[in-house]
Amino acid sequence: MVPAFLMAALTLMYSYRQQQNDLVRESVSVVRNLSRVIDSELGSAEVSLNVLSASPSLQTPDYVAFRGQAQEVLKRGLINNVALIDATGQQLVNTAVPYGQPLPKTALIDLVPRVLQTGKPLVSGLVMGAALKRPLISVMVPVISRETGTHTRVLSAVVLPAHFEKLLTGYGLPPDRISVIFDQTGTVVARSHELERFLGKPIAPGLSDGLKESQEGAIDLKTLEGVQVLSSFSRSAATGWGVAVGIPQDSLTRELRHGMALLLAVMLLLICLGVFGSWWMGGRIAGAIGKLIEPAFDISRGKSVTIPELNIREVNEVGRAMMLTSAVLETTSSSLRSSETRMRSILQSAMDAIITVDDRQVIVLFNAAAAGMFGCPPEHAVGQPLVRFIPERFHERHAAYIKRQRDQAAAADAYGVAGVAVGVRSGGEEFPVEVSYSSVREGDSVFHTLIIRDVTARVRAQEALERSNTDLQQFAYVASHDLKTPLRSIAGFVQLLEKNYASKLDAKAVDLVRRTAAAATRLEQITDDLLAYARVGSETKPFVPVDFQEVFAEVLQLLDAALNNVNAVVTAGPLPTVQGDKTQLVRLMLNLIGNGIKYCAGTPQVHVTALRHDGAWLFSVKDNGIGIDPKHYERVFEPFKRLHTQQEYAGTGIGLAICRRIVTGHKGRIWIESESGQGSAFCFTIPDIATEQGA
């Protein structure tokens, strides 16, 4: 509102100035008019005198007749009385005094000679009339003597100040205007206010100062009675008489003051209305918002809320949004509760121990299975550090592991299998565990959940299995070794029998001896292979770097005769150095390349390659032989499993079993890629040295 009010006040001031200017203009024109009216009044008195002065009764002189004529003139009302004065100032006739009564000398005695000398009419200032004994004004004209042709007498028409007063009051000026008519000497002749008090007194000094400056204008001054006015004045050039009209400052500014007061009142009223409106509106808003407070708290407590229709649209919309929120929240929290219940029941019924720790490795969750496994109730476990359930000698390694995990999983959630570790029960008993974990970031904190399985039984069974395997291997080794000597003896004896006694035996017996010799030789082969198979498992030499080029060259040397027999072509691409047991690797390649040459219908071609794949060297021994049906891919790696008869292809069926054992011993894998009739590719992997060292 303030700018609007300032604008209104400025407009008011501007219009006040405008009004004041209009008023001054109007006031100046009023005084000019009044001044003209006075001039014309005095002029008409002069005209009346001129008519009288031409009267023949004056020449006669017949004063009685003249008096009668003069009395006629008085009837018009302007002139109070007429006097005829001689050159000495003696009144000869005065219509105000009964004829015959002695008359005094005129009070205008000073002016008479001037009128007579100049022969021109004259208007006196205010004087005290000698016959009337009251202030008056006289208009004088000379009377010419027909006899002498000179001016010997003067006719004076008396106009009373009351006449001018009537002029002022009759002009219809507003009653607060203080107007004055003054004569050429600056004496008050008539006044709208307090004429008796100021009649005949000099006009206000301010006005006379103004008159010295100009004949017409408007100035601020103090009137005779001391009222501050804006006075407009005009003085007639003909008579020297003038009029001034003063507008009291009070009434000048009254309108402005009224306007200002009204503006102030309106402003106050509007401010009051505004304050009241704000208070009322604020109350309504506060009331409506107040109705939302309790429901808001209810929402925070998870309650569903119902908010009644509120009388403010925006607040009502907030209310509806809150109701919607509460409904959504309720649904969400109920599904959260049921999911939590399900989770809890899963946690509690799980066979595995589930432990959640925070970022400081302090337990925050410990399920029933964990309590059973570690022999510690959940209420004692929660809040404890996790290391309480890890043997002390592993604490350092555990801390290092956690640090590594934290660095790796800093940016994202993580999960994985930590592998087999050792746990410790409350009683101090240690036991093997298998641990998988997941890490979840919740805001700034990270929680790790460990799922722990007691693998005591499995570890024990594995140990037992390993023991029995070792026993079996040792038994096979010893048995095949022990069998070798008597077998060799049998073979030797049978050969001797065939050589020395063939002539003494009939053909049937010789055939039997030959078959026995063949069976013995085959049994010897089988025993050798079995021994070789057992040896791969039982002899463990430390791995050293083995150059596969050398392995390949050695194999070619060993196979030299066989190659030449069938004109086989065995080639190889660049081969790497791997970590391993050279003897075993030679046997591996010998078996695979040997098979490639053996199981071939035409001229055998075998090609060996190696390439890096997934952190390991991937070897391939590819031939152009008879191929293998995919359904036999697994079978052929089992000991003594063959796809052909001894007649078709000689062999014991242990070669590929040894190959698998060697590759597995080198932490690799072996498999076949082949299509029947299109040759076979035996592939195996051996971990790369570089990757191995880095891991």
- CA dist., res. 616 & res. 136, Å (int): 147
**Between 576 and 653, CB nearer to ligand ADP:** 653
Instruction: Tell me the Cα Rg of the chain.
Output: 74
Does the protein bind ligand ADP through residue 651 (CB under 6 A)? yes
x-or-dash pattern for ligand ADP, window 533-572, by CB under 6 A? ----------------------------------------
Residue 490: CB minimum distance to ligand ADP, A = 22
Binding-site member from 164, 533, 599, 617 for ligand ADP (CB under 6 A): 599
> For tokens 């499995």, what's the residue?
458
Binding-site member from 636, 663, 670, 683 for ligand ADP (CB under 6 A): 636
**Between 212 and 631, CB nearer to ligand ADP:** 631
**Between 135 and 594, CB nearer to ligand ADP:** 594
> For tokens 């565990």, what's the residue?
433
Residue 600: CB minimum distance to ligand ADP, A = 7
Residue 557: CB minimum distance to ligand ADP, A = 20
598: its two tokens: 């053996």
Binding-site member from 30, 141, 593, 656 for ligand ADP (CB under 6 A): 656
Q: Is residue 244 a contact partner of residue 182, using CB atoms and an 8 Å limit?
A: yes
Which of 19-27, 210-218, 561-569, 648-656 is the region at the interface with ligand ADP (rule: CB under 6 A)?
Answer: 648-656
* Neighbouring-strand partners of residue 610: 619
Q: b or e along 73-99 (b: 16 or more beta carbons within 10 Å of the residue's beta carbon)? A: bbeeebbbbbbbbbeebebebbbbbee
Q: Is residue 541 a contact partner of residue 575, using CB atoms and an 8 Å limit?
A: no
Residue 606: CB minimum distance to ligand ADP, A = 9
Residue 406: CB minimum distance to ligand ADP, A = 50
Long-range CB pairs of 345-354 (<8 Å, 24+ gap) are: 350/451, 351/453, 352/451, 352/452, 352/453, 353/450, 353/451, 353/452, 353/453, 353/454, 354/449, 354/450, 354/451, 354/452
Please write down the HEC assignment for all residues of 369-424.
Answer: HHHHHHCCCHHHHCCCEHHHHCCHHHHHHHHHHHHHHHHHCCCCCEEEEEEEEEEE
Task: Tell the burial category of 419 from Cβ atoms under 10 Å away from its Cβ (0-12, 13-18, 19+).
Answer: exposed
- CA dist., res. 343 & res. 302, Å (int): 21
**Between 340 and 634, CB nearer to ligand ADP:** 634
**Between 452 and 600, CB nearer to ligand ADP:** 600
**Between 135 and 596, CB nearer to ligand ADP:** 596
x-or-dash pattern for ligand ADP, window 451-490, by CB under 6 A? ----------------------------------------
Binding-site member from 129, 246, 596, 687 for ligand ADP (CB under 6 A): 596
Binding-site member from 356, 367, 680, 685 for ligand ADP (CB under 6 A): 680
Q: Is residue 589 a contact partner of residue 552, using CB atoms and an 8 Å limit?
A: yes
Binding-site member from 353, 357, 363, 628 for ligand ADP (CB under 6 A): 628
Does the protein bind ligand ADP through residue 604 (CB under 6 A)? no
Largest pairwise CA distance in the chain: 232
**Between 382 and 643, CB nearer to ligand ADP:** 643
Does the protein bind ligand ADP through residue 626 (CB under 6 A)? yes
Which of 207-215, 276-284, 296-304, 635-643 is the region at the interface with ligand ADP (rule: CB under 6 A)?
Answer: 635-643
Phi, psi (deg, nearest 5) at residue 416? 170, -175
Phi, psi (deg, nearest 5) at residue 177? -75, 135
Size of the site for ligand ADP (CB under 6 A): 19
Binding-site member from 285, 558, 643, 689 for ligand ADP (CB under 6 A): 643
Q: Is residue 202 a contact partner of residue 187, using CB atoms and an 8 Å limit?
A: yes
Pairing of strands 127-128, 135-144: antiparallel
Residue 624: CB minimum distance to ligand ADP, A = 10
Pairing of strands 353-357, 445-454: antiparallel
**Between 374 and 682, CB nearer to ligand ADP:** 682
Does the protein bind ligand ADP through residue 199 (CB under 6 A)? no
Residue 631: CB minimum distance to ligand ADP, A = 13
Neighbouring residues of 391: CB distance < 8 A, sequence distance ≥ 6: 422, 423, 424, 430
22: its two tokens: 């209009």
**Between 186 and 651, CB nearer to ligand ADP:** 651
Does the protein bind ligand ADP through residue 681 (CB under 6 A)? no
**Between 216 and 528, CB nearer to ligand ADP:** 528
- What is the binding site for ligand ADP (CB under 6 A)? 591, 595-596, 599, 623, 625-626, 628, 636, 642-644, 651-656, 680
